[in-house]
Structure 1
Amino acid sequence: MSNHPALARRTLGVLATTLLACTGALAVGAPASAHHTAVQGEASCVNGSYRIQWTVRSESAPPDATRFRLVSVASRPTGSKVSAIATSPAGQFPHSVADPVVGVQTVPGSATEARLTVRAQWDNGHTEDSTHEGVVALAGTCADKGGPTGPTATFTSVCASAIDVRLTNPPKAPATQIVLASVPAGSFSQTVALGSGEKKTVRFPVEGWDGVSVTVAGTSEPLATYRWQDPGNCASARVTTRSTCDTFTVVLTDPPNGDRWTVTFPPRVREGP
């Protein structure tokens, strides 16, 4: 079971509402989660330039949406386009919801970050309310001919107010420590050891602050900062109940994580005549 405060508040809120509404057996389904895209990137150093492989996925698409198109695509640094990830004309949906869209962006070896921002529309008529962005943090030390380079970081916002930070240290880079800190600074931080050639994914909580900064220990300038964005698939907890002659049970399941809460109430005994 998750110990995250945001999940606890959301689940207990649903429980309180359910208890007020319940009379006998009741089953309540949460609204379907919204369509949304997920954007992820992974960097490598090739001949003095960073090569970013971007992946765009359609997430939480219902059965009536089988294909999608991109209605807006933007990348940074300015002028560094992403191959094979582009907008499509109205009415044309070239991408299957089951398959990722993969493209490559090349940026200078001195760059400190790369970004890809997209907005999608599905063939059932739904268009994303806002854009979704992927961010790759770069050390800016991609040497000529693919020499040693520093750590990189990519980010994904997840439900329950958290950010997945994927850290990568190239094979030729020395072991290091990475400091993850809250944005604004001062509320929370954690240090992650990263060996040569090692990759780690760390779930960083966002509770009372906006996002996360990633800094190599011993340096003052962050590799990158990232602010939490609504992933678009954070449905409310699903509530079901069971009623027998002896007990009344409420079961709450949190869709994004699969966490389950079960509360069983004994029968009410009436006293007196």
Structure 2
Amino acid sequence: MNLLKSPLRRTSAITAGALIGLAGVVAFAAPASAHHPIVDGVSSCVNEDGTWQVTWKVANSEYDLVGKVTDVVLTPADSTITGITAEAPLPVAGNGTLEGVQTLPATAESASIAVTAEWQRDQLITATREAERPVQKPTDKCHPTPNPSSTGPSTPTDEPSTPTDEPSTPSEEPSTPSEPTPSGSTSVPPAPTKEPEFVHDQDCDSLTVGITVPADWPEDIEVTFKPSTGESKTVVGKRGETTTAEFPASKGLKIKATPKGYEDEAATITYKQPADCDSSGGGAGDEPSLPLTGAAAGGIAAGAGVLLAAGVALFFVRTSRGGPSAARRSLKDGRH
């Protein structure tokens, strides 16, 4: 079973401090549910008439909630299936799978099924998943089951058989029947305990976005962050780490996060200016600062007074150096 296509989990509000030491509220556009059926199939051999079969297993993505199959679509349409039908329960993850056998005509070269299931949590959740890839028609021929050989009548002999005095001794150790090995069986790797999550942080000057990938996730995840203004940035989220990208803050900024291979789980993160940003700070298109009044204005006035007193002092020093005549000229110039 391939778990690499399990969808990412998205949250409509994340406290990023618990994930990457950041804080804030993220707004996601139409978050998708992580509930989904997991479909996997294995083909059998080809019968003498060319027909063949596929054994399908449908698992549940949820560990705490039983799902219910609501619809099954077969490809090709003229095939049939048993075991996987509408109203069939979908066991919780780790507690078994729903199994069925699809029988295909000789003309079919591949087979696939799409399963729709629903879960009732806070609200009714419905999700459809198709087999990740169609199962191709096998080339191996089925071996016909041999008919039991019939025992013909014994041929009489000329000499009668001689009875023995000792009864036959049965074998001391009974033969142990060998257990049949199912053909096409595959080992199922354990499902990850958590799913990747988008995270973010914002301040007056920047919006930081990123993704946290659990250590037991089967692969790194490449994410492209595309802002509503400016250049896109692409990061590779490493397993067991949180990887981020930073963008300059601006009013109305929105960033679309698209994980490669999980495009249907894209999310939009909207910048929301923190309440403690002052009007003189930049980063989010704030209004220009207002004129200074009160204590700030008084401080400026006091500084101006000091500069005026210094100017008067320099005037007297200059006139005293030029003597009385220089002082008189200065006063006379002042009257004109």
User: Per residue, is there more strand in 1 or in 2?
Assistant: 1
- Whose RCO is larger (CA < 8 A, sep 6+)? 1
Which protein has the larger Cα radius of gyration, Structure 1 or Structure 2? 2
Tell me if both proteins adopt one fold, taking TM over 0.5 as the criterion: no
TM-score range, shorter chain: 0.3 to 0.5
Which protein has the bigger helix share?
A: 2
